[in-house]
Every structure is written in C-alpha cells, then in structure tokens.
Amino acid sequence: MSSGRIVAAALAPHPPHLVYADNPPQNEPRAECGWEMLRWGYERLRKDLAAVEPDVYIVLSPHWQTYVGWHFLGLPRFQSLSVDPIFPNLFRYHYDLQVDVGLSEAIQAEAEAEGLVTAMMRNPDFRVDYGTIVSCHLANPAWDKPIVAISSNRLTSWYSTEVLQAQALALGRATQRAVEASGKRAVLLASCSLSHRHFVAEGDVPEDMTREHITHHGQHLWDMRVIDHLRNGRSREVIEEMPEFVEQAIAETDSGALTWMLGALGIPTIPAELYAYGTVIGTGNAVMGWFPERAA
Ligand SMILES: [Fe+2]
C-alpha cells in the first residue's frame, strides 16, 4: 500500500455569515449578498483542494469545546439541524456527514501514544458544532468525502497558550503519523479566524457591507503580521508569538487549530498561499493554503 500523505492544509475560518451569503440549499435563511472577498477566496481554495484529490478532510474546530482532553467523532454518520447559538437568524443548516471512523481512531491512538487525554464521541444524537460544519462546507460543499472532526481542548482557558500549543503540536505529530499509516490523501482544515474581537450589535440587514470593518486597528496590525509570517514560511515565528497574539488580538487560534495544523505539517517553511483576507462582524479572517507536494 502506498504511504498516506497530507496533500494540503488550509486555514479555513468558519463565520456562518459566509454560508448564509452563499445561499446553499442546506441553509434555511436567504441572503442578498455579502463578504464577497472571503467567499471568492474560498471558491479558489476549493478548486485547489479538489485538484489534489483528497480522500478525507480532517478538521479541528474551536466550537466543539472539550475540557477533558481532545475528542473525535466516532460514528460513521451524523445528521441533524445545526443552529448557530448567536446567529440563529443566519445559520439553520441541515447537515448529513460521513466520518472516517478508522482514521479517527488511528489519530486517537497516536495521540494517546503522545500522552494526550482523548475520547471518542459515540453518541448518535450528538450535535456537530457549526465551526466544523461551516469549514467543511466551504472547503467541500458537495460533502462527497468523509471527514475526521477533532474537538478543541480548552487548555488556553484552563492553563495557558503555552500548554495548549505543546499539546496541539503533539496532536499534529499524531495526525501526521496516522495519515501516513492510513495510505490516504488527507486535507487538514484549521477552522478559525485570526483576530477575534467582534461587534456586539447587528444591523437590520446583516449583509449590509457598509458596516463591515475590523473592530480595532491593533487587530489589523496583528493579522497582517501573522499573514506575513505564514506567506513567507515563518510558521515557527507564528508559534513563538502565539501567546501574545492570543492575548492582544483575542485570536481564535486560542483553540489550537492553527498550531495543530502547523505541527502536522512539520512546522512548514514552505510559503502559504493567501486566497483572501476579510472581516466578519469585525473579526479578522484569512483563507490560506499549504500544498506540500507542489513545493516539492
Ligand atoms: Fe468561531
């Protein structure tokens, strides 16, 4: 059997607004327009991801929050209605997704070997979080490939970003080994925004783009700094600066999603491709891709 590989990885933020504005049949609310730069960026990312012919998408989402260890979806199919708790007016999404349970279990076993605490989610009524759903939808709206979904262990809250990152890097190594042994072509999705201070009031028309801008100039400066690092292969610097980034920009990378992905890629020095940057309710969002095979 040929050795499995991570054929691509993406920073794939999950504002439900992007699905809302796309008007897919799975989502009940209808939009007129909105957040086009990000949506056009995702469109180009999707083409590049499809071109590497993945067998499976592996996603880590900040909105599946677990306080004891890292959890994995552990049944072959989950299906329900996902309603965003903050934006029920924008996101009421009917999902029906397939899980690669074998690969989930293999990553779990490797994570245990790294000394991490883990669990498999085997409850058929478990409601999959909207971060997982939005990132997977925007990366592959056809949903024709299985996913592996990993929770965010809230170590930044309990301990510190340093402790979170130590475990997220270990989880990344575990993911890399399990993918290699699986023989599969995997795409990783780090489901998070960059800076994450957001507005607390919504206008009458949610997609009114005259209202959309970064919440604070300091966030924009931080986002540009992190993007510049990643576009130039300086992922080591991103990991080193992460505690300050999380603290000062309230970054959603406090979930470990980005650190896990960089760890699984071996802390890459290849440049990431930037597809789009844009704000959603004042948060900073970059759609970026890594293609190890292309670099080789
Ligand atoms: Fe989020």
Distance 251 CA to ligand 1 centre (A): 10
Q: Quickly state the pLDDT bin for 294 (edges 50, 70, 90).
A: confident
Distance 63 CA to ligand 1 centre (A): 6
Mean pLDDT of 130-154: 98
Q: Where are the domains of the chain?
A: 5-295
Tell me what pLDDT residue 296 has.
Answer: 67
Mean pLDDT of 120-125: 98
| pLDDT > 90 in the chain, percent | 97
Angle between helices 130-139 and 36-51 (to 10 degrees): 70
Q: Is the pLDDT of residue 1 over 60?
A: no
Amino acid at 139: A
Tell me what pLDDT residue 49 has.
Answer: 98
Angle between helices 235-249 and 161-182 (to 10 degrees): 140
**Interval 126-141: pLDDT, tens:** 999 999 999 999 999 9
Distance 198 CA to ligand 1 centre (A): 10
**CATH homologous superfamily for the domain 5-295:** LigB-like (3.40.830.10)
Measuring CA to CA, which residue among 219, 293, 248 is closest to residue 49? 293
Distance 40 CA to ligand 1 centre (A): 20
Distance 75 CA to ligand 1 centre (A): 24
**Interval 199-245: pLDDT, tens:** 999 999 999 999 999 999 999 999 999 999 999 999 999 999 999 99
Neighbours of 209 (CB within 10 A): 13
Residue given tokens 């997609």 in the structure block? 207
Distance 255 CA to ligand 1 centre (A): 9
| Beta strands at 56-66 and 147-153: parallel, antiparallel or unpaired | parallel
**Interval 72-106: pLDDT, tens:** 999 999 999 999 999 999 999 999 999 999 999 99
- The burial class, CB within 10 Å (0-12 / 13-18 / 19+), for 119 is middle
Amino acid at 227: I
Distance 236 CA to ligand 1 centre (A): 24
Q: Is the pLDDT of residue 295 over 80?
A: no
Distance 296 CA to ligand 1 centre (A): 33
Distance 77 CA to ligand 1 centre (A): 23
Distance 65 CA to ligand 1 centre (A): 11
Tell me what pLDDT residue 2 has.
Answer: 62
Mean pLDDT of 264-272: 98
